[in-house]
Chains A and B, each alone.
Chain A
Amino acid sequence: SQTIHQWPATLVQPVGSPLSLECTVEGTSNPNLYWYRQAAGRGLQLLFYSVGIGQISSEVPQNLSASRPQDRQFILSSKKLLLSDSGFYLCARKGFNEQFFGPGTRLTVL
């Protein structure tokens, strides 16, 4: 079966601290991968997508970055967190024409 893991599940970080969120996918090779953010009470915002190792496309300007060091690994990073970075971060992979989502990481920046 194809499974998406996200780590950590929850995170509380101070403003100005670095960030690293990890997404790993099992059961498929070279999937298209996506990072979304969901702010409290709001819809989903696509942040980054990747069609392969080392290939990253950014959808919105921000202080976040993404990397894909391995086929099934997608990492979301920041050098200095802002209060506005708080939210629920979701990783997804492409299916046939739909997307399948991981369990998410709840990030609170204080």
Chain B
Amino acid sequence: GNSVTQMEGPVTLSEEAFLTINCTYTATGYPSLFWYVQYPGEGLQLLLKATKADDKGSNKGFEATYRKETTSFHLEKGSVQVSDSAVYFCALSDLYSGAGSYQLTFGKGTKLSVIP
């Protein structure tokens, strides 16, 4: 079956520090990969996505590259801000999962706290 493994948090960084949140996956087909962000008390927002190997998703200074050879999709940002404090979820969508419902498989989430 499909699975997503994220680095465990919480992660605490100072403002302007470099961020990396590791994500690796296992999938039976050809997954699309996603990063979602959840701010306190809110739903999940799609942060970025990549649909095939070597694609790079980017948004709001965040980037992640779909690495098929290492089955990874690590999230990076060069300079974090206090407003980036949130929980980040890595996820995959596998067209060939068989359910036909485009279910997402999520990691457990990584809580990021950025301090001034």
Contacts and interface: CB of A to CB of B under 8 A. Distances in A.
B43 A99 contact: no
B49 A46 contact: no
Given A42-B108, A97-B95, A104 B103 contact: no
B46 A98 contact: yes
Main secondary structure of the interface of B (DSSP, over half): loop
Nearest to A104: B43
B44 A94 contact: no
A55 B84 CA distance: 38
B89 A51 contact: no
A15 interface: no
B103 A46 contact: yes
A90 B43 contact: yes
Interface residues of B, number: 24
A49 interface: yes
B34 A32 contact: no
Contacts of A32: 101-102
B106 A94 contact: no
B87 to A, nearest CB: 9
Contacts of B93: 97-99
A88 to B, nearest CB: 9
Contacts of A101: 36, 43-45
Contact of A43 (B41, B49, B107): B107
Given A44-B89, A49-B103, A98-B49, 11 more contacts: A43-B107, A44-B44, A49-B101, A90-B44, A92-B44, A97-B95, A98-B34, A98-B46, A101-B43, A101-B44, A104-B41
